[in-house]
Structure 1
């Protein structure tokens, strides 16, 4: 084999070689060449999975090509799925390594080859070929297909590691195979850190063999292998990794998998740099168009030149790399359903975006709001390979624009705090960890950005102090939660009644105008402290001070930026601060007679008259606001679909004399929105689909959301206004218009132009633009009272997840509908699949109209092909059983016989055949029949007159032999069922022995 490969390689060298240029090897050609090579070797091209593993909680992002095949490697894949039939596969998988076990975020920009988003060219074997063939194909693909010089290739293998991979021997087999292609001097052993690949802290894993390429050539570069040289222009680059998946790591350690698999990964960007004759991934046609666009939108005078380290004056080239890489990561993640957020993968994306913003503005001189403008060019570069980018372009841009806008508000404030704190430090003193934590927790500056600012002026950050402050805050929050739970269990009543409002009636009402101002921390003063009704010296609950021993307290402020629960919207949470330190963790905000009470656990002594700062958790509010805005949109969409819009509603009122399709209530929080509407019938699948589409279109159309306080009578004059009947609105009242100007609407209240807009009275906190809702999914619709329907919906990443669930489930239905039904075994498998799908569809979180479609599809198949197949199977089963009963009757005219006849545990069929065959043709015989089917065993007995045997005892003897069952009957006729199945032959033998013992 080696000689054949050498001949191929030599022939390729003699013939025309494809030039190592972007024109000779454009990115599209590299992908197609790889995939087509492995397709010729019987591999199925299986498209890249989503980079967001919605169904795998162990991963933040897809970080390797093998992620989507995890269930195959573990042997847990549903055998009925299409993927289960794969033996070999290949593709270019989208990957993100910016969190978790594999995290390259902090390295991006510093060198010329690290990325947070990259493509992984991969080929896989699922229990098919293993090391020998994997190595041969890898070598042939590189040296023949891609024409790489074999003299420049070095390989590594697992040399053993008793600490990280105990019990796994050195991979001498791989070394022996490589000796067929590579001299021993270029085959190098490494420990588990380099040559034992693991997907995460748990999951499939195994020893691996890597192929490294020497960019320079003509030298012995063995010492440079796995050195991770930041200057890749002079080093050796890993390009291919063959992982031999043999183990699974769980919390107990390594366990051998039931089958051996191959997982190959080749860095697409690294291969492109080699094939295009470039010394860096970033000099290829994958990145250069992005650099041109970044220069254009940033206004940077200097183009990208590829410098690193001290050569990169002003950190300009590093900034180019950071921005280009991070825009790729963000765009693919958002296209696949994730968004920047405060938790989990959302927080990782937020860090990625803020890092891009900082580098772009600080080093390239980019204006505020520049990142989203790069997205269209990215979609041009990669849209052919990954069409989902083009489909989601507007969503990606909207999300990035809004997130960057919010971060820009904090940049100046964070920089001022940083400079002020630095001015107080002594020579050589590090930037304090507690201040770095304040920048992160209160101002939204991730630790790595603080480190960047410090590095620029020659400072280090006390990271140990940062993590200590972080842990202290986490411990404090945990303790506060425990306090609040204890307070609730103790029955503390934190509500106000007349006694409480009367006690503070001399105080001015709380000024809450700042609740509509985002990302601010206004000053306020504590005017009253409340510890619960019945507490305090007067029994009204008010005290002059509280301290950390108090499990729960309520602070009434003279002003606040917290939103108190009202109008169907949940309260804000956050913290009250004194000198930037938390003094009260606010987990509930209520308003009583204009006094707003901030309820939580105090962490220090608080006194009436103390000045505090209101630090709202704006990340949480950013999840509440889309849900509130979309209740307005949902209200509008329902009227459009159910009544035909404003004019239709007027006509309906004339005909019926009542207002239909009006709001009956709502509730929104950071998880979902709930909307109750007056309607006297369930919404149809088509109506739900239309409502959801209108809502989704309004999100996609990026309509502005205008909110203005207006005199109540002026607002009520607006014909297009939607108002809650019987609601007592304040005067002036806040008018919220989606897609229009409140001023224009109220100045011309009768205009027909407003009939196509959502106009409502509302005091809640809203989005500035519907695009910030990102997505919309209508999850539930049900009746809660006569003439009232309740709808539940979600936005942002939860909506994306719901739609993804629907797509996946429909694919499963398509796969189910193609299952064969021509044999009893095939029908049984299909019937079990149908049962499972019917159960799972009810629990699935997906749009309601999609759920209805899936149910109808399953029911249609059940009443159509499945019903016909069932009748056919039942007839075949009955015919077979009839023949078996005929044989029984002829073999037993006056004795007792126990036998096995499988007819599906159908008691009715037993009775029919017993009466028509056994009773007629062998009236003097006694019979016991055991039948297996549907995971259970049926035992049926009939006893002839004159036989001294009890049918109930006979059945019990058979059933007891396989675990016992339940049933009943009479002395001459009885039956029992054993759930879970069992050894039917053993049951028959026990019945025979029982009859023999009775002398029959």
Structure 2
């Protein structure tokens, strides 16, 4: 039923074995093995849990669960379970860290689905079967189901595209290789690094052809890449700088943050850093970083920018703080310049935050919480925060969403956020354990690390349940009531990466000023159009239609002028004959290059047989097009003729077909010379 592992010794590098202080036994008795015993099964994959997922995989792929692809169905079932739990825990696929582990697990299952023969994403369709089987015991699966399905669907779609490109590259790299040959480790690593091909996928693809892989070469290439990354990191200077903060933290401990309740407080300067090193004193004019035992200044974190303000010491020194950062998660580091006196380590000081900046930051941060809740309501539960910027003058919010947010959706979202602002509900915060917060229904931000105690921020009146409209774990600063935000205005929406959209918005005075500026533009346009503001769209549409009509008329007139001879002659009088060949040579003014070909075609049709050369001066640039009728292609080439003209126009080259070619130059004043050169060539 299980393997018993008796752990008794620690084996040293030289082979010696030392008795462990507490020998132990590992039974390897997991959930699946217990279930197998209770259900009378001899295979973990035959238990009810795994069998349900295996049959779901077989149904989705229209194959036999116990047929030739039975191993693939087992891989899919096992990896579906692990990936779903990882995503529910906040891990999303990426190219580094735990996200990379998730991506590799997902892609192994997806590779087996590809081996079965699926053409479209399938794995996401299996999530409901998993939720039905395990959602009762693990409610986080139910809560995250929409996100799991969206993530799997997007990842499998991208993987299939990658698979096609990677297999083509692999085929090219192994073209001509015989059985027993070895694929270069560099090539295998390139497949991994560029296309996300794990080494086992490359090995499987080559197995049928009996081609091996230089795994040592692959490992060498991997280590070289890691070494370059390490060198780049250490070369950035971050390691030396961070060492200072470690020393300060070890010596003085964490900074206590008082800024949730007040913007002014007393503290003691515990460290001063100048030019990357600790100093005891900083004087007027010095750029300095200040650390204190406690502060009202919020340190930049969680997407919210840090506070600015003033630090005044008892000795009369004044430090203007322009930014506050959080180092090592516990130190609030005030960055600024000493503008009066000398500041010394140990000085008592008053820490006064810039109220206007703090107010704007709080409004923008609280607005992101409302925006998050509203987007989940209107776009779906799969919407989760992927990043944010809370600045003084704007907010930026990135969310998981597979397609653009339409203008209609954005309007609904904006209106709902403003409705919540007008409710003017209280914004409350509570401290509790992470487990208590999640049980209450608070949203934790994926990728964030939380300690033993977290702040839960709630805002907005309840709708369908007893909880607030927005309930999130957050360490940032917020308004007292939603009405303090003032107003909310979305100014842009766009893509950040595959499956991630970005909303940029304004609040308060910035939103009001933005709206006023747009209204001013509308009023100006309406005045110029001599129309009421509400009539501007119809008036603009009418003007666009009128412009298109006029452009067509102008184009027609240009063609008539170009195809007429000097003095408005038409027919044979519009052409000259040189060496038995009809010529239509025209120097034109202000004709766009794109219209010349159409004019050449019209002139050729009028001539029946002959050569057309048109040169146009379009905003100081010369354009030339030469065309000839089919009966003359054996005697002349439009390409040769256009190059003769281009040379005179101060250009180079020119090209096209034997019957139609074009080029350009920088000197339109030589149009007559270019046409004369073409005529001379035809004359022989």
TM-score, length basis structure 2: 0.53
For residues 968 and 863 of structure 1, what CA distance do their matches in structure 2 show?
A: 35
For residues 587 and 396 of structure 2, what CA distance do their matches in structure 1 show?
A: 57
Match of 1:930 in 2: 615
Q: Deviations over 1:389-422 (max 9, x none)?
A: xxxxxxxxxxxxxxxxxxxxxxxxxxxxxxxxxx
For residues 937 and 893 of structure 1, what CA distance do their matches in structure 2 show?
A: 25
For residues 907 and 598 of structure 1, what CA distance do their matches in structure 2 show?
A: 66
Match of 1:955 in 2: 645
Q: Given the alignment of the two structures, is residue 529 of structure 1 paired with residue 272 of structure 2, yes or no?
A: yes
Cα shift at 1:642: 0.9
Q: Deviations over 1:217-276 (max 9, x none)?
A: xxxxxxxxxxxxxxxxxxxxxxxxxxxxxxxxxxxxxxxxxxxxxxxxxxxxxxxxxxxx
Match of 2:252 in 1: 507
Match of 2:419 in 1: 697
Q: Given the alignment of the two structures, is residue 732 of structure 1 paired with residue 483 of structure 2, yes or no?
A: no
For residues 875 and 714 of structure 1, what CA distance do their matches in structure 2 show?
A: 76
Q: Which range moved further: 588-597 or 968-977?
A: 968-977
For residues 814 and 937 of structure 1, what CA distance do their matches in structure 2 show?
A: 39
Q: Deviations over 1:601-650 (max 9, x none)?
A: 3454333211111122222212211111110111111012113xxxxx4x
For residues 532 and 638 of structure 1, what CA distance do their matches in structure 2 show?
A: 45
5 Å-filtered alignment, 1:229-628, equals: 497=242, 500-502=245-247, 504-513=249-258, 515-520=259-264, 522-531=265-274, 535=277, 542-543=278-279, 545-548=280-283, 551-579=286-314, 581-591=316-326, 592-603=328-339, 604-628=341-365
SS in 1 for 2:467: helix
For residues 498 and 996 of structure 1, what CA distance do their matches in structure 2 show?
A: 80
For residues 467 and 539 of structure 2, what CA distance do their matches in structure 1 show?
A: 40
Say if 2:645 and 2:675, in contact at 8 Å, map to a contact too.
no
Cα 1:726–1:559 shift into 2, 3 Å: same
Query: Unaligned stretches of 5+ in structure 1?
Result: 1-489, 536-541, 644-648, 650-659, 820-852
Q: Deviations over 1:261-297 (max 9, x none)?
A: xxxxxxxxxxxxxxxxxxxxxxxxxxxxxxxxxxxxx
SS in 1 for 2:360: helix
Q: Given the alignment of the two structures, is residue 917 of structure 1 paired with residue 661 of structure 2, yes or no?
A: no
- Of 485, 501, 522 in structure 2, the residue corresponding to residue 789 of structure 1 is 501
Match of 2:176 in 1: none
Cα 1:752–1:942 shift into 2, 3 Å: closer
Cα shift at 1:556: 2.0
Say if 1:709 and 1:735, in contact at 8 Å, map to a contact too.
yes
For residues 578 and 680 of structure 2, what CA distance do their matches in structure 1 show?
A: 17
Say if 1:941 and 1:973, in contact at 8 Å, map to a contact too.
yes
SS in 1 for 2:377: helix
Say if 2:562 and 2:599, in contact at 8 Å, map to a contact too.
no
TM-score, length basis structure 1: 0.37
Match of 2:477 in 1: 765
Q: Deviations over 1:685-743 (max 9, x none)?
A: 11111111112233344333233434544433323x33323533344322222235xxx
Q: Given the alignment of the two structures, is residue 940 of structure 1 paired with residue 625 of structure 2, yes or no?
A: yes
Cα shift at 1:874: 4.5
Cα 1:493–1:933 shift into 2, 3 Å: closer
Q: Deviations over 1:771-814 (max 9, x none)?
A: 33332221222222332222121223332343345446667888
Q: Deviations over 1:60-98 (max 9, x none)?
A: xxxxxxxxxxxxxxxxxxxxxxxxxxxxxxxxxxxxxxx
For residues 779 and 939 of structure 1, what CA distance do their matches in structure 2 show?
A: 45
Query: Unaligned stretches of 5+ in structure 2?
Result: 1-234
For residues 637 and 432 of structure 2, what CA distance do their matches in structure 1 show?
A: 95
Say if 2:402 and 2:500, in contact at 8 Å, map to a contact too.
yes
Cα 1:549–1:671 shift into 2, 3 Å: same
Q: Given the alignment of the two structures, is residue 674 of structure 1 paired with residue 391 of structure 2, yes or no?
A: no
Cα 1:876–1:817 shift into 2, 3 Å: farther
Match of 2:597 in 1: 908
Q: Deviations over 1:548-587 (max 9, x none)?
A: 2885433221111111112221111122212484433323
Match of 1:663 in 2: 385
For residues 494 and 999 of structure 1, what CA distance do their matches in structure 2 show?
A: 75
For residues 910 and 493 of structure 1, what CA distance do their matches in structure 2 show?
A: 65
For residues 250 and 490 of structure 2, what CA distance do their matches in structure 1 show?
A: 44
Cα shift at 1:971: 10
For residues 587 and 359 of structure 2, what CA distance do their matches in structure 1 show?
A: 66
Say if 1:590 and 1:598, in contact at 8 Å, map to a contact too.
yes
Note the aligned Cα RMSD (angstroms): 4.5
Match of 1:252 in 2: none
- Count residues with an aligned counterpart: 430
Say if 1:548 and 1:601, in contact at 8 Å, map to a contact too.
no
For residues 491 and 724 of structure 1, what CA distance do their matches in structure 2 show?
A: 29
SS in 2 for 1:716: helix
Cα 1:930–1:593 shift into 2, 3 Å: closer
For residues 398 and 637 of structure 2, what CA distance do their matches in structure 1 show?
A: 69
For residues 669 and 751 of structure 1, what CA distance do their matches in structure 2 show?
A: 32
SS in 1 for 2:421: helix
- Of 899, 906, 920 in structure 1, the residue corresponding to residue 586 of structure 2 is 899
Match of 1:687 in 2: 409
Q: Deviations over 1:851-888 (max 9, x none)?
A: xx99x999x98997766765565456545545559546
For residues 699 and 879 of structure 1, what CA distance do their matches in structure 2 show?
A: 64
For residues 818 and 965 of structure 1, what CA distance do their matches in structure 2 show?
A: 50
Cα shift at 1:975: 3.9
For residues 384 and 682 of structure 2, what CA distance do their matches in structure 1 show?
A: 80
